[in-house]
A and B are shown apart, each in its own frame.
Chain A
Amino acid sequence: MEGLITHPHSGDVVGVPDDWDTHVPPGTEALVAVAPERPDGGFRPNLVLTVTDNEGWTFAQWQRSTEAELPMALQDYLLLDQQRLEIAGQPAGRRLAHHTTPDGTAVTMEQWFVAIGDRGHTLTMTVPDLEFPDHTALIEEIVASWQPGGPRD
């Protein structure tokens, strides 16, 4: 499906479909990949890779803080599922949530996060709720390609 893209600051690598646009929004350290525009101008599924400085925080503190911020940052936020995981031997997790975009689209956000050293790496996929089942395979493929912190030997 995909070409590999690399986060300019964290070195994270992830595969995205060839026809997705990728960019780093000015003033951010986020790498964004967006599905092609639709003829109807509708919501474009997208991926956001971020890295945060977690110095002095445990994994649990980082995630408690994130979980407290999300309902304030995202309209109609509804946590649907969450899991503790390990990614590359490091404490990690996944959350699934619904929210509403500023233009009123109901979307599903699936997010994976891992702490490596003092940095928190987060991969977020967002698709319209009604299209979430159709994107299951693509999301799995993208997550499987994710190498937080850079290529693994």
Chain B
Amino acid sequence: MIEVSGDVVRLDNADFFRLVHEPEAPEHREALSVPDMAEGLEAVRAPLIHVDVLIAGAARVARHHVWLTEGVALFLLTVREPTRQVLVTPPGHVPSGLARMLRLGPRPTPAREPMTVDGADLEKVFDVEDADATDVRESLLESWESTGAWSVVVAYGEEERRTLFLDGPQGLRLVLPDPEPPTPDEAWQAVPISATTAWRQLCSLLPADADLASRDI
């Protein structure tokens, strides 16, 4: 069942992919009347850039997607299982869309040291297949003084770049490969950052050489 309200479309995953691949079907007429929806669906079929966002808290891991072409970005947001929400925006609105998705806003910035984070533990926190592992996620997040973790993967051509954040009552951390890891593939450093630095990261996510229309606005 597809619900259209103003510029917002709500549906489940199966209906979304039917909409993407059979846009001409009669039941999709109302959804296609949303401004720029046809171009947004084309972005899903043939993306210039794909952004895969995982937001992990103790209770659940939510996955969101953004597909972009030069002129349009389509957000597929997980509202609550199984409901998805589709939004179409200009590409230049992707950073603010991500900021709203991540609930970025003012955070405390107490003086804190960088913290080493185990790579395997990070993967456990973002394991969408093991969505019921609340105890594991709660315990790991607590050990990182955090209540949430964000993974943003940007795929562009052959390149894929992942940016990781930890969020908690004491502020944000950016998770970077450890410059001096004891085990080269496993250790990460979680460096305290301000919300301003996090915003700068979000604004830098889209590849600088992608020819996005909004860069020319």
Contacts and interface: CB of A to CB of B under 8 A. Distances in A.
A43 B217 contact: yes
A45 interface: no
A6 B9 CA distance: 51
Nearest to A110: B196
Interface string B84-123: 0000001011011001100011110000000000000000
A42 B105 CA distance: 28
Given A80-B195, A133-B204, A42 B216 contact: yes
Interface string A68-87: 00000000101111100000
A67 to B, nearest CB: 11
A143 to B, nearest CB: 13
Given A80-B99, A98-B99, A106-B95, A129 B203 contact: yes
Interface in A109-153: 128-133, 136
B194 interface: yes
A79 B165 CA distance: 19
A108 B93 contact: no
Contact of A106 (B90, B105, B194, B199): B90
Contacts of B44: none
A55 interface: no
B212 interface: yes
A98 B204 contact: no
B109 to A, nearest CB: 8
A130 B217 CA distance: 11
Contacts of A76: 96
B217 A104 contact: yes
B214 interface: yes
Interface of A: 40, 42-43, 76, 78-82, 96, 98, 100, 103-106, 108, 128-133, 136
Give the 8 A-B residue pairs with the shortest CB-CB distance, closest first: A81-B195, A106-B92, A81-B196, A40-B216, A98-B96, A132-B203, A106-B93, A42-B217
10 contacts: A78-B100, A81-B196, A81-B199, A100-B93, A105-B217, A106-B96, A106-B214, A130-B214, A130-B215, A131-B203
